[in-house]
Structure 1
Amino acid sequence: MKGDIETYHENGQWKNKVEGRSRAANTAATKAEATAKGREMAKDCRAEHIIRNQDGKIGERNSYGNDPRNIPG
């Protein structure tokens, strides 16, 4: 799986989608459940996890991979 993971709300469900794909990878009844699934996906892929609020705005971002801004010092 390549690409960042996005957790978002659509049609009454919370979903996780891999960047660049047209369909959700999974769905959940609650934001907390979807966020947990998305976090695991992002960790497995060493990717960025983008968590959107119900209104679609980005609420949180977490990086679990090769973040160029996170250079060890």
Structure 2
Amino acid sequence: MAAGDIETFHRNGIWFNRIEGESQTLGSSFMSEAEAVKVGRSAAVARQVEHTVRTEECPSTDASSYELHPRELIGR
């Protein structure tokens, strides 16, 4: 992930979004992964950056980028 990309992550049963390279979360918290992913994906498209979903707050190898890169969705 590059600085500025959006990351969706899980901590203590709650889902969050943040901008890579920043410690504060982006917006509010979410009770479900689906809600957090939807908002994180929209933020990534708006910023024209990548969106990654992690199952834990800490960096890990189980991060997965979504199928379509937000940059490919611009104008659709």
**Bin for the TM-score computed over the shorter chain:** 0.7 to 0.9
**CA RMSD after TM alignment:** 2.1
Number of positions where the alignment pairs a residue of Structure 1 with one of Structure 2: 64
Bigger helix share: 2
Distance 2:34 2:56 in 1: 12
CA drift of 1:54 comes to 4.8
TM-score normalised to the size of structure 1? 0.75
Is 1:61 equivalent to 2:65 in the alignment? Answer: yes
Query: Which stretch shifts more, 48-57 or 27-36?
Result: 48-57
Task: State the alpha-carbon separation in 2 of the partners of residues 37 and 52 from structure 1.
Answer: 15
Instruction: Structure 2: state its 5+ residue gaps.
Output: none
List alignment gaps of at least 5 residues for structure 1. 67-73
What TM-score comes out, normalization by structure 2 length? 0.72
User: Could you say which structure has the higher strand fraction?
Assistant: 1
Counterpart in 1 of 2:41?
39
Counterpart CA distance in 2 for 1:54 and 1:19 is 14
* Matched AA of 1:13: I
Runs of 4+ in 1 over 2 A off after TM superposition: 53-57
Identity value in percent:
34
Structure with higher Rg: it is: 1
